Amino acid sequence: MSDSEEEAQDRQLKVVILGDGASGKTSLATRFAQEAFGKQYKQTIGLDFFLKRLTLPGNLNVTLQVWDIGGQTIGGKMLDKYIYGAQGVLLVYDITNYQSFENLEDWYAAVKKVNEESNQHPVVGLVGNKIDLEHMRTVKADKHQRFCHENNISSYFVSAKTGDSVFLCFQRFAADILGIKLNKAEIEQSQQVVKADIVNYSQEPVARTVNPPRSSMCAVQ
Ligand SMILES: Nc1nc2c(ncn2[C@@H]2O[C@H](COP(=O)(O)OP(=O)(O)OP(=O)(O)O)[C@@H](O)[C@H]2O)c(=O)[nH]1
């Protein structure tokens, strides 16, 4: 076989997503792998798998094997086995749920325990999800940044609902694992346009005598 420059390289990476129940792990994986989102909460029992291919600079094809671990597995016997062999671990919390951020200490402790026992060192990232609910945020961004600095891990803010920064998060994370630096153009290309919901106020049961009528027009860029 020739060493043609066009010959693509293939890599497979195991990425494990951990965090409390309802923080949005399944939604994140589904948004990334299937470009879909479901509003209905369906608890993950055990775990789910997703596969997604992406191409990194240098014609590098990467298949991400995403392990979406159910939030109820914390403290269970199987968690160590799920984490074992991961090249990357994403710790996910919900920015509107302070407890989900605090509990990351426990999830991270489980990761460190497996690392010590197996002498492996996966790349770890912190993901603040649900940034579409910024107005309900209870975890300040500087708390998030402090966690990243103290543990020397990478930082992401995403919305699985709107898709905001989701692809970029996985792309940057895969690049991080492989020691590849993305340039500005590559990052910008991965930032999708976020679609906003158009709210039809005319269907809202508002007391017109108290509140002035509101416009149903909305500019979406
Ligand atoms: N507004 C908003 N809701 C979200 C977002 N991501 C997930 N949700 C909602 O949060 C709920 C929980 O999401 P899941 O993805 O099922 O959470 P999970 O972390 O996989 O939960 P477990 O399976 O119990 O571990 C669902 O109702 C989702 O629709 C987001 O970015 N924004």
- pLDDT tens-digit readout, 108-124: 999 999 999 999 899 99
Q: For residue 195, is it within any domain?
A: no
64: domain CATH number?
3.40.50.300
- pTM score of the predicted model: 0.85
Q: For residue 210, is it within any domain?
A: no
Domain that holds residue 27: 11-190
Q: For residue 197, is it within any domain?
A: no
**Closest residue by Cα to residue 147 from 80, 100, 81:** 100
Query: Can you list the positions of beta strands (E) in 70-163?
Result: 88-94, 123-129, 154-157
Q: For residue 87, is it within any domain?
A: yes
Q: For residue 167, is it within any domain?
A: yes
Best residue for ligand 1 mutational test, from 16, 25, 27 (most atoms within 8 Å of Cβ): 27
> What span, in angstroms and rounded, lies between the C-alpha atoms of 72 and 90?
16
Ligand 1 binding pocket (C-beta < 6 A) is 21-27, 38-39, 41-44, 70-71, 129-130, 132-133, 159-161
Q: For residue 217, is it within any domain?
A: no
Q: For residue 27, is it within any domain?
A: yes
- Alpha-carbon dihedral 169, 174, 180, 183, rounded to 10 degrees: -30
Provide the mean pLDDT of the chain. Answer: 86
- pLDDT tens-digit readout, 72-106: 999 999 999 999 999 999 999 999 999 999 999 99
Question: Residue 168 has which token pair?
Answer: 């970029």
- pLDDT tens-digit readout, 116-156: 999 989 999 999 999 999 999 999 999 999 999 999 999 99
Please count the CA atoms within 13 angstroms of the CA of 135 that sit on its side-chain side.
0
Q: How far is the CA of 86 from the centre of ligand 1 (A)?
A: 23
Contact residues for 170 (Cβ-Cβ < 8 A; gap 6+): 15, 32, 52, 54, 64, 66
Q: For residue 22, is it within any domain?
A: yes
3-state class of 87 per DSSP?
Answer: coil
Q: Which helix (H) or strand (E) holds 174?
A: helix 166-177
> What span, in angstroms and rounded, lies between the C-alpha atoms of 111 and 144?
18
Q: Considering its fold, how many domains does the chain have in total?
A: 1
Q: How far is the CA of 38 from the centre of ligand 1 (A)?
A: 8
Residue nearest to atom 7 of ligand 1 (CA): 24
